[in-house]
Copies of this chain bind each other. A is one copy, B any other.
């Protein structure tokens, strides 16, 4: 755990330069706008430890799979979000000395991420070997108003000298992925052009042939006037284009370099026009200028915060933590493009390939449902609908037939690209995350037309998967589900993982519900879907019912607890308190087999199921299971604690809830797991949001009505949050003594606080 950032309500502030923390800060200070984003790399050269990363949403590379021992069914490739062309570079040298913070003496270093406006700032003074000293101040943002535009204001002031400065300003597509499996480069040049003040490089990815045009223009001013250059050279080489200019620096006088960038992808532009369009976008941005661009950008952020801010009084660190999570989530996914999704690291790193996991449905969806226009959440659902044919193909590759949809564990275009058999083939619960998301969406928004439009097809595919994946055990006279990995990935290839069995049976019931609903509300559309999916309704649904009726659920009568899986009680039943400090985290300290044999739980499993289907269990049952499983849970997945916060809140374990909340809220800011340098845990940030809203706030939707059972952690004075709900914006403020519910916009609404009806007007 680290604690080097200043606590501040709206800002992340790093003071003083520590090269050892640079990669951590590069992650934390990342900026993006849903279309593109980047780590907080320096504009100038930096020869120290850095992970350079710019990313363009939806642009990926199918890197050839690397395995030790090939298993039948493995995919040929692992899709990776690409490190994309670098548009931030501004290299400065003075008297042949490079401005490089790894080599200069650095003072007064300050890095600030203003979350209110989405602005990354940095300032410092640097001394060269010969004693020359400059002060630098840079500001940078990726425009929320125009997702293809970025802008930099880079100001340099010579403090104790006057001299010639040489400045290289460029775009560079000769970039690599650090996680390339076979050390290959993924980009090839398509075209480039450079002229005075402007450069554009169009590059394409190998194999996937995405084109990305990256353009830049710059303006260099001093005291409001354009600086005149001694010389200007056009620089071009493979995948690189820019200018090198030389100009005078006068002691004490600031020179400001404005760099405007445009990043266009062939996902949004025809390939034959992309360079020309890029040229236009960068011209327009330059014409608009930095201040105007920033104003438009900040306005969007203002609006975003109105939708989704959470305020916490009395705990500035908690306030900063929750806003940081919301900020990163918001700039990762804006919901405007249904082809996009939320990579586990967003635009902040390469790890996990930046592709889509079940995290989206299980953790992120509730955040976007409550804080954005319903179309945002809907687009996340449609994304999976569009992948349905691929999910059916994925199933076929593993031997499933007749339209059984097996959604991938990791994907970019719908194809599976994970290659670890115990996950890829066995962590099958993820396919029902897509079904549960439909329920979540319809429950929250009331948009039950979604069944007819897209939902039913997904549910039929899903139900077919479970109908084939369950095995009838003649020994038990029950249906069993063999050979799975549950959300708790510290168990592999187990039989009858309760979470999986429960979710599978629920999916079959929910598919039946959807069929009934569509038949009743839109029989014509139902007939269409039945024809399209070749549904043998009676035969198939009676099989589904048989499985639902005879599904086997492991249970311990003696303790009255659900069993995580068959054989769980054969384990030595220890608790996390029995572990020595040097055993933690067990995923770094123990061999894999020891983890598997132990009772320790990486991530909520039975409790995850109880959380999802809370209404099926009484408080007594929840308590028993919480008391049994929580002490065994090591929370070594960032996705784990939030579920425990919600359940602990539900059963009145307030201290436990707050303890676990702390674990998630500042996970990245304090680098809790010592892995922030690889990127931020974006998807788990939504879990943190859930901890507050569903945990402390006790928000639920029942029969189309909002319910709250809020309480306040002792350490706080008050907290408040806003929710979008069916056309209204509601603000809930929870204090020590009372709960305020305010309708900020929209029609009157009845909601429930602690079970009591409240009519908001």
Contact = CB atoms under 8 A, between A and B. Distances in A.
B425 A471 contact: no
Given A67-B67, A67-B68, A483-B596, A591 B397 contact: yes
B66 A569 contact: no
Contact of A72 (B67, B398, B475, B592): B592
Given A492-B493, A570-B495, A593 B68 contact: no
A182 to B, nearest CB: 9
B591 A72 contact: yes
A72 B587 contact: yes
B591 A425 contact: yes
A364 B256 CA distance: 79
A399 B594 contact: yes
Given A68-B68, A425-B593, A592-B72, A471 B571 contact: yes
A587 B492 CA distance: 20
Nearest to A398: B591
A73 interface: yes
B68 A482 contact: no
Nearest to A71: B592
Contact of A593 (B421, B473, B593): B421
Nearest to A592: B71
A82 to B, nearest CB: 20
A584 to B, nearest CB: 13
A570 B471 contact: yes
Most chain B CB neighbours (cut-off 10 Å) among A71, A419, A587? A71
A180 interface: no
A567 B73 CA distance: 25
Q: Count identical subunits in the complex.
A: 2
Among the interface residues A473, A483, A573, A595, which one has the most CB atoms of the partner chain B within 10 A? Answer: A483
A64 to B, nearest CB: 11
A337 B483 CA distance: 45
Contacts of A480: 570
Q: Which of A72, A420, A587, A592 has most chain B Cβ within 10 Å?
A: A592
Q: Is the interface of A mostly helix, strand, loop or mixed?
A: loop
A570 B473 contact: yes
Contact of A66 (B66, B399, B496): B66
A681 to B, nearest CB: 18
B71 A483 contact: no
Contacts of A495: 567, 570
Contacts of A572: 471-472
A715 interface: no
Interface string A571-607: 1110000000000000111111111110000000000
Contacts of A420: 68-69
Contact of A425 (B67, B482, B588, B592): B592
A473 to B, nearest CB: 4
A65 interface: yes
Contacts of A419: 68-69
Nearest to A473: B570
Contacts of A591: 71-73, 397-399, 425
A421 B595 CA distance: 12
Contacts of A473: 569-571
A329 to B, nearest CB: 27
Interface string A396-424: 01110000000000000000000111100
A476 interface: yes
Nearest to A569: B475
A397 B420 CA distance: 23
A504 to B, nearest CB: 14
Interface in A60-85: 65-69, 71-73
Interface string A421-454: 1100110000000000000000000000000000
Contact of A570 (B475, B587, B595): B475
Nearest to A493: B493
A106 to B, nearest CB: 36
A315 interface: no
A566 interface: yes
Nearest to A492: B493
A426 B594 CA distance: 10
A492 B420 CA distance: 14
Contacts of A593: 73, 398, 421, 425-426, 483
29 contacts: A66-B66, A67-B68, A68-B68, A68-B420, A69-B419, A69-B420, A71-B591, A72-B590, A72-B592, A398-B591, A421-B593, A422-B493, A425-B591, A425-B593, A426-B593, A471-B570, A471-B571, A473-B570, A474-B569, A474-B573, A475-B570, A482-B571, A483-B597, A493-B493, A493-B494, A495-B570, A566-B566, A566-B567, A567-B567
Given A67-B68, A483-B596, 18 more contacts: A68-B419, A68-B420, A69-B419, A71-B592, A72-B587, A73-B593, A398-B593, A398-B594, A421-B592, A425-B591, A425-B593, A471-B570, A473-B570, A475-B570, A482-B567, A492-B492, A492-B493, A495-B567
